[in-house]
Amino acid sequence: MTDLADVDLLRFVWVDNANIIRSKSVPLFGADPGDLDRSVRISQALLSLPVHADAVVEQAGLLPTHDVTLVPDWSTLRRFDDGQAVVQCDIYDGDGPWEHCPRSFLRRMSDEAAHIGLNILAGSELEFTLLRDGVPIDSTCYAQDAAFDFDAAVVMEVLATLHAQGVPVAQCHPESGPGQWEISLKPLPVLAAADAIVAVRQVVRAVAARHGMTVTYLPLVTPEAVGAGLHVHMSFTGEQSDGFGEFGYPFIAGVLESLRPLLAVTAGSPLSLMRFRPRFWAGAYFGWGIDNKEAPLRVILNDEGAPRDVEFKAGDITANPYLMLGCLLVSGLDGIARDLELPEPLVGDPGLLDDIQRALAGIEPLPHDPAEVLAAFGDSGLFARAMGGLHLSFCAVQQAGQDHMRGMSFDEIVTVLVERI
């Protein structure tokens, strides 16, 4: 265990099936902490809570009749400058990982990739909106330099805090919406990449609060707004010299084949699917493309014209990052195992075609019905086999959230989600 002499309050963190970051804390204030590796326990029922209420979803099969243990991964310890520290946890049942633990699921899928000689690095782009009294803090446009003057205090403190915590930021810029920013993270092994996404969420929220602001990570804050996504860039290396060619294309083919059910994990909120609109660079149609920002799967070329990585655009921060990356690996590894081939790439912007032209080209829009994608995910044998009991508990929690929000207005849904995600 690492030295905790300077830590006054240690928060043990997990992310649940509704993508709420939760924690239990141990006050230290210089005292000998003792053995913290197995000291914090939670009810298994905490993984059965929906996004809208702390009420157990019985269909998840996780009743408050059994406790599990938060096991800290000390490599993830991050300190804040007010005496607090956070550590990401795996959830154990007895001596081993609990099958309902999202972080342990991603760790297992990463191990399965390594078993076939595949190493995946994941970078991410997180988009969010800063608000003061519920109103965006500026009205700047994409990459407008003036935003760094208007929002300098909060943005610089966010970047400085992430740097001090060892979270590797690649770039930061104003996005297209009022008060909207993007932080891009450097490529990391997939488990560390998911931890870093959680870290950004925590840091931005904490720093915004210090400056009298709030932050929303919702994919849409008004029906006509520019959307906010969580894009993941994946690069592949294998035992052969050309890792992308060996694994990348069949991996992408697997993700594309499973994209409909996968959306239940990567874009499962009612607001998420509304974001998939033509000409918003959101990837509104099924398919893949080469350097095509209108494709949900975009192969990015390097300066020599060879594939560098693939960007998965069909996600947002309402997704649990451990489940998102884990399920991307499930579908991608299935594509590799079956040596799937990709269809022809999308060329140009499908949104510029009319319905007949798209139908003749076999171009289908991404679904806009959360019930449709959740039903597809629930019926998927591929994800059920890979996830085990976690598949059942996730589906039950998501179904409860959808049932609660069905029939609500846009503003009512925002009210449910804005302080939870």
pLDDT of 165 over the 90 cut = yes
Q: Which pLDDT score, from 0 to 100, does residue 321 have? A: 98
Summary mean pLDDT of the chain: 94
pLDDT of 94 over the 80 cut = yes
pLDDT of 206 over the 80 cut = yes
**pLDDT, tens digit, for every residue of 334-353?**
999 999 999 999 998 988 98
Q: Which pLDDT score, from 0 to 100, does residue 220 have? A: 93
Q: Could you write out the three-class secondary structure of the chain?
A: CCCCCCCCEEEEEEECCCCCEEEEEEECCCCCCCCCCCCEEEEHHHHHCCCCCCCCCHHHCCCCCCEEEEEECHHHCEECCCCEEEEEEEEEECCEECCCCHHHHHHHHHHHHHHCCCEEEEEEEEEEEEEECCEECCCCCCCCCCHHHHCHHHHHHHHHHHHHCCCCEEEEEECCCCCEEEEEEEEEEHHHHHHHHHHHHHHHHHHHHHCCCEEECCCCCCCCCCCCCEEEEEEEECCCCCHHHHHHHHHHHHHHHCHHHHHHHHCCCHHHHHCCCCCCCCCCECCEEECCCCCCEEEEECCCCCEEEEEECCCCCCCCHHHHHHHHHHHHHHHHHCCCCCCCCCCCCHHHCCHHHHHHHCCCECCCCHHHHHHHHHCCHHHHHHHCHHHHHHHHHHHHHHHHHCCCCHHHHHHHHCCCC
Higher pLDDT, 302 or 97: 97
The arithmetic mean of pLDDT across residues 154-183, rounded, is 96
Q: State how many domains the chain has.
A: 1
pTM: 0.97
**pLDDT, tens digit, for every residue of 266-304?**
998 999 999 998 877 788 999 999 999 999 999 999 999
259 assigned to some structural domain? yes
Range of the domain at 365: 107-377
pLDDT of 239 over the 70 cut = no
The arithmetic mean of pLDDT across residues 381-399, rounded, is 98
Q: Which pLDDT score, from 0 to 100, does residue 282 have? A: 80
285 assigned to some structural domain? yes
pLDDT of 25 over the 70 cut = yes
Higher pLDDT, 268 or 44: 44
272 assigned to some structural domain? yes
The least confident of 131-135, 198-202, 254-258, 374-378 is 131-135
335 assigned to some structural domain? yes
pLDDT of 370 over the 60 cut = yes
Higher pLDDT, 54 or 238: 54
Q: Which pLDDT score, from 0 to 100, does residue 277 have? A: 85
30 assigned to some structural domain? no
The pLDDT-based confidence of 152 (bands split at 50, 70, 90) is: confident
**pLDDT, tens digit, for every residue of 303-329?**
999 899 999 999 999 999 999 999 999
The arithmetic mean of pLDDT across residues 175-200, rounded, is 97
The arithmetic mean of pLDDT across residues 375-397, rounded, is 98
The arithmetic mean of pLDDT across residues 41-60, rounded, is 98
CATH of residue 139's domain is 3.30.590.10
280 assigned to some structural domain? yes
406 assigned to some structural domain? no
pLDDT of 240 over the 70 cut = no
100 assigned to some structural domain? no
pLDDT of 419 over the 70 cut = yes
Q: Which pLDDT score, from 0 to 100, does residue 12 have? A: 98
pLDDT of 242 over the 80 cut = no
Q: Which pLDDT score, from 0 to 100, does residue 1 have? A: 62
Q: Which range is most confident: 149-153, 243-247, 360-364, 393-397?
A: 393-397
